[in-house]
Amino acid sequence: MIEIREMLMELCALPGPSGFEEPVTGRIVEMLKPLVDEVWIDTLGNAVGVRKCGKDGAKKLMFDAHIDEVGLIVTGVEEGFLRFAALGGLDARILPAAEVKIQTDPPLYGVICTMPPHVLTKEDTNKSIKIEDMFIDIGMAQEDAEKAVPLGTPGVLAHGLRKIGEDGICGKALDDRAGFAAILRALDLLKDETLDADLYVMASVQEEVGVRGAGPGAYAVAPDECIVIDVGFAKTPDTKPAQVSEELGGGVIISRGPNTNRRLTDIAVGLAKEKEIKHQINVEPGGNSGTNARAIQISRAGVATALFGIPLRYMHGAYEYVLADDIESTAKLLCECAMCS
């Protein structure tokens, strides 16, 4: 049996900002090998595996979750300090004084510069610093920094991962390695089950910089149906019900809206009720859910696509937070969908 928290902490510890996911995809290929019949990495870097059912004319069902994380890329060196830009929606509010890991060989660690509050004006205290005005201190002079860190070198936040309470995981990259952890757990639960569909799984890349990997990956596989697993917002006391209503611990989030297939979504909701799988409904009224579902749905002549979410707090922050029980609920619903395809 796959232990969700241990597996997820291993995946999240690996650096994999958008466009630089190789350390993560390499490990995922090894994790997939005992669970599928074949696994490969495509041109864009998506890791894809397939479990064949052995039946002629079988339908193709795909599970997808992106495995890139928000990060940064070095754009310049000034007086030994690194200028950088964001890879994805990095939250500028949490960056001052944050530790970062620069993906050199071997990796370098640094701290994002911040002014002490003692020397700030009252006006500056209430301002958020723009990323283009920030620098990373790596403890080097100009010449050494230029040699050590070529322009275009990526980096990630270096915050550690923690278990919280009996069921929680807190740290970086849970968006969306928690989604792929649910896929791995589902494959583990399905290993002794007979399926009527060929089951493809995709660990897709570059979602955080414009949903770039999932479309070409889905085009190559040409699935009949796809379930995208991403994270969803989980409410906290400072959120308003109109903004966020999903609960941490409330189970898998099933989305409804024009970015999802009504028939496939109805099947998923029906299975969740029938099998008493903890779940909650999210409404995505726009045509763009902000997930890989938007790209996969319109791949080739169209793919019947459903969207599942794992409740997560503090998205794109230094310490995201999920519960293993919500990942387990997601995995169980994926299993039921696979067995009824």
Active site amino acids:
207
Angle subtended by helix axes 324-340 and 174-190, to nearest 10: 50
The single residue listed with the structure tokens 């099933």 is: 254
Residue 40's CB is within 10 A of a number of other CB atoms, namely 11
Distance CA 235, CA 148 (A): 42
Amino acid type, 19: G
- Report yes or no: 153 and 87 within 8 Å, Cβ to Cβ: no
Q: What b/e sequence results for 188-221 when a residue is b if at least 16 CB atoms lie within 10 Å of its CB, and e otherwise?
A: bbbeeeebebbbbbbbbbbbbbebbbbbbbbebb
Which is nearest to 279 in space by CA: 308, 256, 252, 309? 252
Distance CA 328, CA 336 (A): 12
User: Can you read off the two tokens belonging to residue 30?
Assistant: 């090894």
